[in-house]
Amino acid sequence: MNIKADGQQWATKESQAKRNEEYARKASENTPVTFSGTTELKLKDFFFKVLSGSAQGILIGVLPAAVMKYIIQYSGLGTTAFGSNLSAILTLFTSLIPFLIGMAVALQFKMKSLDVGVVAIATAVASGSIRWAQAPTGFLNPVTGLRSVAPANIYIASGAGDVINAMIVAAIAVFVTWLVSRYLKGFGSVAIILSPIIVGGGVGLIGKTIAPYVGDVTTWIGNLVETFTNLAPIPMAILISMAFAIIIITPVSTVGIALAISLSGIGSGAAAMGVVATTIVLLINSWRVNKPGVTVAIALGAMKGMMPSVFAKPVTMLPFLLTAAISAIPVALFNIQGTPTTAGFGYIGLVSPIQSMVKDPNVPASVMSHFINPMIAIVAWLIVPIVAGFIAQYIFSKLLKLYAPSDFQQEL
């Protein structure tokens, strides 16, 4: 902090008072803002932070296992103790998604460590990724090999749980934390005891209570999408693909949306193809105007980093939509399918293309019942989107002159 004194500028008491005020102002500007009862909660900002934190938590939990899954399986690592343990650890990340959502949401609000932990725990216990039941006396623990001498709760990691419920519970936990801080002074000196019990346990219990009803709603939405996709596969594939082509360049998580509504089958394949379509259009334009590192980052999955340039000129979304619409047609024709986990990836880690070809014994037939051969995969995942991307580029950029590649110029 530099405040220059020229001559007798600070000689008088008035000037000294002014200097002290200036120091205080500078200090307040440099002091990190932390979440408290005085924090102003605006609905739009609140919703955006919950959404952004949820997207971060979902990606942290999903990406490692999704990207490494086939590398471990086909490299031979899966047959070794190292590979087996690594696979188990990465898979466990999936069951920690609700915890990661709670943690990331709390960090979005700049909460202190105690509150971050409380929000994360409340979200984790309420979202179904960890289930428990009482085991009777004599129950054989498969890990220790010992039998229980009295009835006791057993806990089982069970997938990612309900991410929509996790988002709701995280939002409730943040709001309750704010109320406690505002009206009860954050429990004062006993916060370390009362906050985990009342906020963590209380909100967790609320979330556990509403979880079945939230699950019914999300299941109904997923079933509705699946029904319409089966009735009209080509129109629905086009609509889903176009929707995800736009979602991928917004703050909303494509993986989160797919997981939330359990998007599977052709719907999952179409969603992944929409992500591919946006990737292709961005690559076509980026390589002409951006540094190679930016283009490589887009190819590896950094599409959301292009949000500033896209939203600065929304007409640039038109080629995304047309490319997605054309690319979605083979999805319906060749019955290209996927799982809720792979729906929002596209080319990232080649997760979606590989899943559409390789039968996974862990994926039930009710989720994915058809697999394509490598030749169809090359045509559907590579040739058609690239051709469609250049067609869209010609129509909207060369013919109609609605945008130029320079509109995508940006640093990542």
Mean pLDDT of the residues in the chain: 85
Question: Residues 247-274: pLDDT tens digits?
Answer: 888 877 788 788 878 888 899 999 999 9
Q: For residues 182 and 20, what is the distance between their CA atoms, to the nearest angstrom?
A: 30
Contact 269, 173 (CB under 8 A): no
Helix, strand or coil, per DSSP, at residue 163: helix
Question: Residues 319-362: pLDDT tens digits?
Answer: 999 999 999 999 999 999 998 888 888 888 788 898 899 887 77
Most confidently predicted of 156-160, 217-221, 376-380: 376-380
- Higher local confidence (pLDDT), 396 or 255: 396
- Band (151; pLDDT cuts 50, 70, 90): confident
Question: Residues 23-65: pLDDT tens digits?
Answer: 666 655 555 567 877 888 888 889 888 888 887 888 788 778 7
Give the pLDDT of residue 296: 87
Give the pLDDT of residue 23: 62
Radius of gyration of the chain (CA): 26
Contact 221, 137 (CB under 8 A): no
| pLDDT at residue 173 tops 80 | yes
Give the pLDDT of residue 13: 62
Q: For residues 241 and 216, what is the distance between their CA atoms, to the nearest angstrom?
A: 25
| pLDDT at residue 2 tops 60 | no
Residue 23, Cβ neighbours under 10 Å: how many? 12
Beta bridge partners of 338: 265
